[in-house]
Amino acid sequence: MSDAVSANLEPAKKLGFANEDLIQELGYDDDVDYDLRDSIEDLIGSELLTEEDHDVVDAVIFWWRDGDGDLVDALMDSLNCLDENGIIWLLTPKQGREGHVSPALIQQEAPTAGLHVTTSEGVSEDWSAIRLAPRKKN
């Protein structure tokens, strides 16, 4: 693999994705980071699944902006197709960008949706990613 191709895959690798993972994309709009999307698709070897797809997926990438609606409801809906060991990457505009969502709000809302925040990554110039995982059932 060339250095250029490897560098192109770095953002997707930060998210822990691998070849043949099934990834569903929610919250797509014209402001998403197309380079990040391309990086993910190149790494997994297929297109991202859409909101209309109902396959069980390994992970969800969810573009979320302030004003998009009720975060708890949206997070609960994002669990519908998620494998029991799957994760959600909530992608939000970075601080100072239009649509920024406070990480404190996400930390507060996630447990109501049955999720917990595990880590965060800077994945592009304009977007941050917060990793959410379902709470383990007892």
DSSP for 97-121?
Answer: STT---HHHHHHHGGGGTEEEEEEE
Q: Which CATH number fits domain 3-134: 3.40.640.10, 3.40.50.300, 3.40.50.720, 3.40.50.150?
A: 3.40.50.150
> What's the confidence (pLDDT) of residue 5?
46
Residue by residue, pLDDT tens for the chain (138 residues) are: 444 445 578 888 899 999 999 999 999 999 999 999 999 999 999 999 999 998 999 999 999 999 999 999 999 999 999 999 999 999 999 999 999 999 999 999 999 999 999 999 989 999 999 999 998 765
Question: In sequence order, what E strands does the chain have?
Answer: 23-26, 57-63, 82-93, 115-122, 127-134
Cβ-count burial of 109 within 10 angstroms (0-12 exposed, 13-18 middle, 19+ buried)?
buried
Q: What is the pLDDT of residue 136?
A: 75
Check residue 138 and give its pLDDT.
58
Which of these, 106, 78, 82, 76, lies nearest to 92 by C-alpha position?
106
Helix, strand, or coil (residue 10):
helix
Residue 56: DSSP 8-state? -
Where in the chain are the domains?
3-134
The sheet carrying 82-93 orders its strands as 23-26, 57-63, 82-93, 127-134, 115-122
Measure the CA–CA gap between 40 and 17, rounded to whole angstroms: 7
* Cβ burial, residue 59 (10 Å; 0-12/13-18/19+): buried
pLDDT given for residue 137 in this prediction: 66
Beta bridge partners of 61: 25, 89
Q: For position 2, what pLDDT does the model report?
A: 44
